[in-house]
Amino acid sequence: MFIQLIIAKSLQLAKRLKFSNLIQPICLAGSFQENGTDERETAVIAGWGWYDDSAHVSTTLREGLEHFINIDVCKKSVPLVDEKLHICGDGTYQHTMQHDSGCPIFVKSPFSDRRGNPRWMEVGVNDFNSHPDVFTRVSTQCEFIKNATKGEVQCIPMKPLTTNLKK
């Protein structure tokens, strides 16, 4: 499920990235539970996949809003979904497209940086394109990530929360 990590390892930036107040590493969610109610939680997705139905691959990073949906609703359309492994988004306003496999889905975390700005938490990685969108829970891969990065990257426990991004 986490093949994208291996592929991404070969990608390199033209120059070393400098972290600043605006550029920060994303936190990885050691746990995440969407609220599972009818209240619609919103998350952000980002990727370089197709941006329309004519198979145009984006040359710039694109982002959009995605609403989480109840896992049972998701299973009706995508029977392969496993509630322990997956998170689903409805793709009503924006959704993942072809070549977005591996793109993140993230929410504002309950944590903030030194200046009080909210930190973002990656809760999932696009697993396969379908409708609804299906993401692998980052929390199911924490041990793998820790081992693959020799402990340099670790997940942060995250209490259940309702995201507060609204369209």
Parse the chain into domains and list their residue ranges. Answer: 25-148
Residue 68 CB contacts under 8 Å (≥ 6 apart), including other chains: 34, 35, 40, 41, 42, 43, 87, 88, 89, 90
pTM, full prediction: 0.75
Domain 25-148 sits in CATH at: 2.40.10.10
Q: Tell me if 126 sits within 8 A of 135, measured CB to CB.
A: yes
Taking only the tens of pLDDT, the chain with its 167 residues reads 333 433 344 456 788 888 887 777 888 888 887 655 444 578 888 777 666 666 666 667 777 888 888 889 899 999 999 989 998 888 766 656 555 567 888 888 777 777 787 788 899 988 876 778 888 999 999 999 999 989 988 898 876 544 444 44
Residues in the chain: 167
